[in-house]
Amino acid sequence: MVNSNWFNALSKRLWQVRDGLKTADYEQHEELQARISLVVKTRWFLLALIAAYCLFAGSSYYFSRFGLFLSRSQTFFLFGTVASVIGYNFLLHTYHRRLCCCYRLVNLLQILLDLVLVTVLIHLSGGASSWFWPVYLIITIEAAFLSEHKRDVWLVGVCGGLLYGALLTAEKLQLVPNVRMPFVDSAIHRDGLYLLLIWLWVTLLNAAVSFIGSYFVGALRRESSAVKESEERLVNFLDTANDLILTVNAEGRFLYVNDAWQKTLGYTLEETGTISFFDIIRPDCREQCSIEIARVLAGDTLSPLESVLVAKNGREVVVEGNLTCGFDDGNSQVIWGICRDITERKQAEEQLYRLAHHDILTELPNRILFLDRLQQAKALANRYRHQLAILFLDLDRFKIINDTLGHPVGDKLLQKVAQRIAGCVREVDTVARIGGDEFTVILVNIDNIDDVKRVAQKILHSLSVPFNIDTYELFITTSIGIALYPSDGENIDTLVKKADIAMYYAKGEGRNNFQFYTPQMDANADKRLLLETSLRKALDQHEFRIYYQPKVDIVSKQITAMEALLRWAHPTLGLVSPAEFIPLAEETGLIIPIGEWVLRAACIQNKEWQKQGLPRMRVAVNLSGYQFQQRNLLEMIRGILEESGLEAELLELEITESVIMQNPDFAVSVLNELKDLGIHISIDDFGTGYSSLAHLKRFSINTLKIDKSFVRDVEVNSADAAITTAIIAMGNSLNLKVIAEGVETEGQLNFLSENNCDEVQGFLVSTPMPAGEVAAFLRERCGADSWPIGRETADG
């Protein structure tokens, strides 16, 4: 329980400030009022006691043989004296609060009046034989209690002795008549020795009481002063404490608040008297706080509490502290609270939690929070018997943008990608970034697989719209792998792994698509790991091969170029398709040395064909997006041309439409420099990207290469025929050569010829062949009048 003196000290301090009084003046004011009030009450008690005794004594005398022995004048003086005491005591009782301004004079005056009137009463009660003289001692004690200085107490003791001595002397000299008392020999009033001895006895006792009284009262005052100083130090400590300290009653009304509380919450002491403690608690915390206060009032001991207070300006302040029950003067219950402002700490904790569970760049959940959400989603799926889907997304060729335009642009792109993905799902779903350009999505409450397909398609469509970042217009696609719970596994790590496997399968299927996990993909994943491990040493062990496929002019039927196609002769897997290992090479960065090797080998081979007397023709080399973004690309090409001795106009670089459209402005500058070198530029897979006519006019290119996906069905599919016709017409209008790849039938050739396509490439002309077979093929073609049908092997 809280000490009541402590509470009183604090309460007084609160009201001192409210009344505008200084601490020292207020305490002295209160102390003087208390002294005078106590003396007045004591005097009432003594008067009542004397009155009761007098009534008893008067009654006893009245019925005794002596009768009433006082004369009428003596009775008059007796009652007059008592009435005087009653009168001024009543005045002090009524007006003592107003008399504190001249308290020393009032105290001396009432002590002197007491001495004089007691002397009168001693005379009226027998003088030298009176039993009333011990009242002098009481008056001396009263003086010790009221007076601030010891000399005043000693002076009262001396005055009491002098007055008593003067009374005895006056009675002996018959200056005042003696009052006869029953049982008393009147001769004692004339006995000088007796009078001297009784006077000395009364005087000595009065002096002793004055000394003893002043000593004890002084000691009590020093102890009281020490207690007050201690309480004052405690009050000052509480007022200057950094913690928030307050006292409220059981109804929540404030009794005390310290300076820290006022500064933190913005309320003044006057304002605390008009509000309740519950008024400053945030509404959603009030009920719990009321419960805790009720427990404290019931005597329970509480653990540290947390709550949210609302400052005067509306700012929320999070506090942590304890509540304790106490008593005001041992009667009314009060609640003491001490708490600290932990708002900044809570904000720091929230920030640390967010940093630990969210991606700093995109503000999406990170891997830790993603796995936690996935665990919760799994539990809900089990409870409500729903499915959930995990989508694993990896941006296609994002590294090119990051390496070319820098990380600031790449970071902004990731932020906008995150926003678009989040806009494609519901609030109950989770979008997370788990590293680099990898994102994951948790779709909950799935009842139909078609819902997952729609979300995946929505994401692909959303990301297909160009991104405007700074001064760049950027294009990005994504590959999505999907795993379902519970059909694809029970363990969340396994589900994430299977979604990852499906994502790589989507990349292998040409990117910019989504794939659901199937068990057959596990074998592909194992193969992928084997390929990735072997790829790192394939170049050093000379496992790569270059095959060449001719490009033919439709009108002249002359071979215009040989396209270099990379093959990998794996020692255990055999011939590996470029579709399998090229994405791996791009992800691992090995595409840079591999691409340089292909370019060098193709240029040297073309120069070798010239030395063999074969017709001059270009050699076409596919340029990876990662190579295209290399800062030293031009220096590398110049070095290879110089090293091989090949003229620049006999080198053709094929760049896919999606690569140059990832950063059109950058592409324009690089293509211009390549064109200035005299190199022939061809846009590969045209029609599958996002080129607009406005962009196409800016590029320094020579040839548009129609993707084989359009050529394949031109004979039977009107849409493909229309697209192919439009591309040819657009290329002709821009004075660009147009070549169609994947030509396999005479019908396709006739369609392309009728629509003014310039060149063709495909199985109808020839399948890809090793370098050693090219010379014989070219010599055979020089005398042929018809199109040779190629071998039934895979096209590159």
- Helix/strand/coil (H/E/C) assignment for every residue in 83-95: HHHHHHHHHHHHH
Rounded CA-CA distance 323/337 in Å is 5
Q: Which pLDDT score, from 0 to 100, does residue 753 have?
A: 93
Contact of 157 with 206, CB cutoff 8 Å = yes
Rounded CA-CA distance 13/766 in Å is 105
Task: Outline where 3-131 has alpha helix (H).
Answer: 4-19, 23-62, 72-95, 103-124
How do strand 472-474 and strand 467-469 relate by DSSP bridges? antiparallel
Above 50 in pLDDT, residue 791?
no
* pLDDT tens digits for range 143-190: 777 777 777 777 877 888 888 888 888 888 888 887 777 767 777 777
pTM of this structure: 0.57
**611 vs 525, which has greater pLDDT?**
611
Q: What mean pLDDT is predicted for residues 104-130? A: 77
Q: Which pLDDT score, from 0 to 100, does residue 101 have?
A: 57
Q: Which pLDDT score, from 0 to 100, does residue 792 have?
A: 38
Q: Give the pLDDT band of residue 212 (cuts 50, 70, 90).
A: confident
Q: Give the pLDDT band of residue 351 (cuts 50, 70, 90).
A: confident
Rounded CA-CA distance 106/37 in Å is 13
Angle at 229 between CA 225 and CA 234, to 5 degrees: 150
Q: What mean pLDDT is predicted for residues 702-710? A: 89
How long a stretch of residues is the chain? 796
Contact of 691 with 671, CB cutoff 8 Å = no
* pLDDT tens digits for range 319-332: 998 888 876 555 56
Q: Give the pLDDT band of residue 23 (cuts 50, 70, 90).
A: low
Q: Give the pLDDT band of residue 779 (cuts 50, 70, 90).
A: confident
Q: Which pLDDT score, from 0 to 100, does residue 296 have?
A: 83
The least confident of 126-135, 283-292, 380-389 is 126-135
160: which residues sit within 8 A by CB, 6+ positions away?
115, 136, 139, 140, 202, 203, 206
Rounded CA-CA distance 79/448 in Å is 111
Above 60 in pLDDT, residue 784?
no
Q: What mean pLDDT is predicted for residues 614-621? A: 93
Q: Give the pLDDT band of residue 102 (cuts 50, 70, 90).
A: low
Q: Give the pLDDT band of residue 580 (cuts 50, 70, 90).
A: confident
Above 60 in pLDDT, residue 664?
yes
Q: What mean pLDDT is predicted for residues 34-63? A: 74
DSSP 440-504: EEEEEEE--HHHHHHHHHHHHHHHHSPEEETTEEE--EEEEEEEEETTT-SSHHHHHHHHHHHHH
Q: Which pLDDT score, from 0 to 100, does residue 603 have?
A: 96
Helix (H) or strand (E) holding 653: strand 651-656
Residue whose structure tokens are 């008393």: 184
Q: Rounded to the nearest 10 degrees, what angle do helices 72-95 and 103-124 cross at?
A: 160
The region, left, alpha or beta by phi > 0 then psi within -120 to 50, assigned to residue 491 is: beta
* pLDDT tens digits for range 406-443: 889 999 999 999 999 999 999 999 999 998 899 999 99
Angle at 543 between CA 540 and CA 549, to 5 degrees: 125
Helix (H) or strand (E) holding 245: strand 244-249
- Helices (H), strands (E): how many in the chain? 28, 22
Q: Which pLDDT score, from 0 to 100, does residue 426 have?
A: 94
Mean pLDDT of the chain: 83
Q: Which pLDDT score, from 0 to 100, does residue 796 have?
A: 37
Above 60 in pLDDT, residue 4?
no
Q: Give the pLDDT band of residue 531 (cuts 50, 70, 90).
A: confident
Q: What mean pLDDT is predicted for residues 453-481? A: 92
Q: Which pLDDT score, from 0 to 100, does residue 226 have?
A: 81
Q: Which pLDDT score, from 0 to 100, does residue 786 have?
A: 45
Cα–Cα nearest to 552, from 258, 260, 778: 778
* pLDDT tens digits for range 541-567: 889 999 999 999 999 889 999 999 999
Above 60 in pLDDT, residue 89?
yes
Q: What mean pLDDT is predicted for residues 337-348? A: 88
- Token couple for 450: 């078609």
Q: Which pLDDT score, from 0 to 100, does residue 785 have?
A: 47
Domains in the chain: ranges and CATH: 4-236 (no CATH), 241-347 (3.30.450.20), 358-517 (3.30.70.270), 533-782 (3.20.20.450)
